[in-house]
Amino acid sequence: MNRDEMLARVRNRTEPWDIVVIGGGATGAGIAVDAATRGYSALLLEREDFGKGTSSRATKLVHGGVRYLEQGNLSLVMEALKERGILLRNAPHIVRNLRFVVPNYSWWEAPFYGIGMKVYDLLAGKYSFGSSKTLSLEETLALLPTIRRDGLRGGVSYHDGQFDDTRLLIHLIITAAEHGATVLNYTGVTELTKDEDGFVRGVVAIDSETNERFTIAARSVINATGIFTDETRRLAEPAAEPMMVPSQGIHLVFERSFLAGDTALLVPQTDDGRVLFAVPWHNRTLVGTTDTPIDSISYEPLPFEEEIEFVLETAGRYLARKPTREDILSVFVGIRPLAKSASNGNSKTSTISRDYTIHIDHTGLLTIAGGKWTTYRHMAEDCVDHAVTLGGLEEKPCVTSTTHIHGYYEQADKLGSLAVYGSDAASILALAEANPELGKPLHPRLPYIKAEIVWSARNEMSRTLDDALARRTRALLLDARATVEAAPAAALLLAGELGKDSAWAEAQVKAFNTLAAQYIAQASHYPPLPTSTGKN
Ligand SMILES: Cc1cc2nc3c(=O)[nH]c(=O)nc-3n(C[C@H](O)[C@H](O)[C@H](O)COP(=O)(O)OP(=O)(O)OC[C@H]3O[C@@H](n4cnc5c(N)ncnc54)[C@H](O)[C@@H]3O)c2cc1C
């Protein structure tokens, strides 16, 4: 993936593209893979970095959604369970089977969750990740040794999937490119062009690194801009009614020891009706998430003080060692792109459907919004089917249910900390062998070697320190303070690869430190929940 080469393709193209996708998150990347593997000419344009929006900020679960089961949305659960199975099959290096335990402290919980999980098993059918089981007290403690014992009666275990969201995203982007798609980060769409009948026939995009402006013709244009959906729709129809209802969720990251063992913890119903996960991830414990309606959206949303307190307090009720603010290694926040048209009318965002919506407006702009990471492939298939009709393209069958995703590798667990790279791990190790300095750790508290930064610039279009430390590696999410300490060395490596000077590296470090400060909960004072929002 060479960005200059991608830019040249856009510059030199004389024919309209079959499909132009606006947005390089899970939804857009899935569409680019679908379109390219069917044989359409596809261009994906991302304004920031791939995954800078919501797709880097998930709870990292490939799941049917136990919560949606409770809401009675069985078809959504069933579709997600099927997609979970397909994803494990196509990207075994990134998705792993994870056992979850719901601890039971009341007499009714074992039969209640036991039956619920059997329904979950049933809906998974041939895509099952393993059967659920009612656990004795001893079995529960064996799986969750750091759970609060006081009042514990037993538990219910079940299986779901876990992944690294941006690693999958980058591998999807590479998969699309390998099948002929042109993909660009830092190239935002600023206008939509229309024909004499007022139909969208292309886009204007600007490369933010050079300010080069491209006028791009397309047979169909897809808006996959997540929380920015309405902003993009207004480029086509300035009076478009908003369809997004943003809601934010936070995650706190702690040392692994808070949740020893290889099992995740699920609290399906907190005191105020929310779901809480504590999940082992990259040798840390990830705890989340909240669901708080918000009024405004941004790329780097801040957590609210009440959200941090809620997660700390609730986790503290289930873990033997109560986490405190000082224990937080990183806090990260994501905004759910919930689509209003899928709403059930309830004002609580946690009850708005996680199903997706496809909307075609009067100008022919095709918008896809909502859904979840787990179902990105199915969403893409549906969306490309619509684009084919709308753009008058020749019908071609979707092949993504059997397409291996870049890096496909069945024995990834043998690759240690490079497992998520799958088949690329060998090339990263080769970099380290050729230059032993690159084999050294980026930082003693981070599970990365310097070669990964070099690799990200050479092969994965990493353009800034934030790209390399937050989305190619996950350093910022795993330990924000260690990442700030590692930033100067990483910036020099990146500068060397991108042909930049030391002043560029220094400016990158400065900008990154400002950004990273908001991931460091100990030092930050976050805003209180606005009175207009209220907990959800
Ligand atoms: C807290 C939280 C936890 C979650 N956990 C899970 C989970 O565990 N499992 C799961 O399955 N799902 C989960 N989800 C849902 C999942 O993360 C989202 O559904 C998914 O990431 C949305 O992807 P997207 O591509 O639609 O949006 P985004 O990732 O936001 O991508 C949209 C992109 O469009 C770009 N863009 C915007 N405007 C323009 C423009 N004019 N030109 C070019 N590009 C533009 C943006 O920069 C952005 O990168 C979670 C969501 C949240 C918020």
Q: Do residues 29 and 50 make contact, with C-beta atoms less than 8 angstroms apart?
A: yes
| pLDDT at residue number 143 | 97
Residue 353 is predicted with a pLDDT of 57
Predicted confidence at residue 289, as pLDDT, reads: 86
Angle between helices 165-178 and 26-38 (to 10 degrees): 30
- pLDDT tens per residue, range 490-518: 999 999 999 999 999 999 999 999 999 99
Residues with Cβ within 8 Å of 520's Cβ and at least 6 positions away in sequence, in order, are: 330, 331, 480, 481, 484
- Distance of alpha carbon 340 from the chain centroid: 21
Mean pLDDT of 77-93: 96
- Residue 173 contacts residue 130 (beta carbons within 8 Å): no
pLDDT band at 344 (very low <50, low <70, confident <90, very high): very low
Question: What is the C-alpha to C-alpha distance for residues 89 and 129, in angstroms, rounded to an integer?
Answer: 11
What proportion of the chain, given as a percentage, has pLDDT over 70?
96
Pocket test for ligand 1, best of 83, 173, 225, 367 (most atoms within 8 A of CB): 225
- Phi and psi for 157 in degrees, rounded to 5? -105, 150
Inform me whether the pLDDT recorded for 223 exceeds 60: yes
Atom of ligand 1 nearest to the CA of 23: 34
> Can the peptide bond before residue 187 be classed as cis, meaning omega within 30 degrees of 0?
no
Q: What is the pTM of this model?
A: 0.96
Which tens digit of pLDDT belongs to each residue from 163-207?
A: 999 999 999 999 999 999 999 999 999 999 999 999 999 999 999
Nearest CA to ligand 1 atom 31: 25
Task: Map residue 305 onto helix, strand or coil.
Answer: helix
Least confident of 13-27, 319-333, 482-496, 513-527: 513-527
DSSP one-letter string for 482-531: HHHHHHHHHHHHHHHHHT--HHHHHHHHHHHHHHHHTT-TTT--PPPPPT
| Residue-level pLDDT at 491 | 98
Distance, CA of 183 to CA of 176 (rounded, Å): 8
The predicted structure's pLDDT at residue 349: 52
Q: How far apart are CA 271 and CA 293, in angstroms?
A: 18
Position 535 scores a pLDDT of 40
pLDDT at 21 over 90: yes
For residue 60, give the ligand 1 atom closest to its CA. 8
Other beta carbons within 10 Å of 257: 11
- Residues paired with residue 204 on neighbouring β-strands, in sequence order: 191, 215
Q: Other C-beta atoms within 10 Å of 523: how many?
A: 10
Atom of ligand 1 nearest to the CA of 27: 25
Give the residue, out of 373, 375, 378, 471, with the most ligand 1 atoms within 8 A of its beta carbon, to mutate for a pocket test. 373
Pairing state between β 187-194 and 182-184? unpaired
Q: Identify the helix (H) or strand (E) that includes residue 28.
A: helix 26-38
CA 118 to ligand 1 center in whole angstroms: 31
The closest residue, in CA terms, to atom 49 on ligand 1 is 53
For residue 408, give both structure tokens: 């496909």
Which two three-digit tokens encode residue 262? 């290889």
Question: Cα of 61 to ligand 1 centre, how many Å?
Answer: 14
pLDDT digits 0-9 by tens, 288-319: 988 899 999 999 999 999 999 999 999 999 99
**75 Cα to the center of ligand 1, angstroms:** 22
Q: What does the pLDDT look like over 384-428, one tens digit per residue?
A: 999 999 999 999 999 999 999 999 999 999 999 999 999 999 999
Instruction: Express each pLDDT in 437-473 by its tens digit.
Output: 999 999 999 999 999 999 999 999 999 999 999 999 9
- Please give the C-alpha separations between residue 464 and each of 133, 444, 500, in angstroms, as whole numbers: 46, 22, 11
Which spans in 158-215 are helix H? 165-178
| Per-residue confidence (pLDDT) for residue 269, from 0 to 100 | 83
Which residue do the tokens 């937050």 mark? Answer: 470
418: phi then psi, degrees, rounded to nearest 5: -95, 10
Q: Is the pLDDT of residue 142 over 50?
A: yes
**Nearest Cα residue to atom 25 of ligand 1:** 25
Please give the average per-residue pLDDT across 30-57, as a whole number. Answer: 98
Beta bridge partners of 306: none
Atom of ligand 1 nearest to the CA of 288: 1
Atom of ligand 1 lying closest to residue 251 CA: 1
